[in-house]
Amino acid sequence: MMEVIESVKEMQRRAEALRLAGHTLSLVPTMGFLHEGHLELMRVAKKHSDILIISIFVNPTQFGPTEDFQQYPRDPEGDLKKAEEVGVDIVFMPTAGQMYPPGSQTKVRVEKVTQHLCGLSRPGHFEGVTTVVAKLFNITKPHIAVFGQKDYQQLTVISRMVMDLDMDIEIIGVPTVREPDGLAMSSRNSYLSPEQRRSALCLKESLELAEKMVMEGERNCAVVKQAIEALIRSRPFTRIDYVSLCHPVTLEEVDAFGEETLLALAVKVGETRLIDNTLIRRPGK
């Protein structure tokens, strides 16, 4: 039977007891409003462990002052039902007061890989992410943690933190799960009107356009970027945050396509900020 734990201390005690009993623990951190993308992360985590823990916590410290923290979609009852159906063992659902008690003053910051992509347009975002994920790791004590590749920079930042701080946790990335029409699954998709939803497909179409151009021999990143920006701007309701062609490890911009190049996009469709990405491989590589 699935357990729901709200207390930090109780979660730590439960996790420690399970580890001492010889269990392998996995963690899937979420902000709730679970969709098929989250459930796929949980299925992968179950394959690598015998105790699956998920966290549901809308983390206030990773939202900027003008972002959608208050409006972020929440459905705790629906989340628990979906978690139980997929076979979650423990749901950790703390309050903000549990996670950030009065007097809390410690933050975790990763330097270079946070200074690109979303780190430029969302100052302080990744410091909020790394701090809460470090806390979740200390609370749930997993052997394995699973994240989606849709948030490629987040996966990179957390992997860097785990490496740099010698955390004894295996990080697993799972390919992006998409809607039937190709839109990357996101809790924020619920904000889109039907007309905006059609325009949002320009993100996936941009990835496909870039892959086609490289397959046909284009090597100049500026040319591909210009074509993508023109495609996105041709659709109503869109406003480009960034189109980046960058090194898949450092996330630094590149001028020409290497063996592998990350194409990462952030586009506002109406007031909804969406992200997507793909790793582009040169033909023959």
Q: Is 38 a catalytic residue?
A: yes
The secondary structure of 68-113 as a DSSP string is STTTS---HHHHHHHHHHHT-SEEE---HHHHS-TT--------GG
Residues 190 and 226 sit within 8 Å (Cβ to Cβ): no
Q: What residues form DSSP beta bridges with 184? A: 178
Q: What residues form DSSP beta bridges with 277? A: 264
Q: Which two tokens stand for residue 177?
A: 């799960």
**What is the distance between the alpha carbons of residues 264 and 118, in angstroms, rounded to a whole number?**
10
**What is the distance between the alpha carbons of residues 121 and 278, in angstroms, rounded to a whole number?**
20
Nearest to 162 by CA among 135, 125, 134: 134
Q: Which of 23, 35, 38, 247 is catalytic?
A: 38
Torsion of CA 34, 36, 39, 41, to 10 degrees: -110
Enumerate the active-site residues: 38
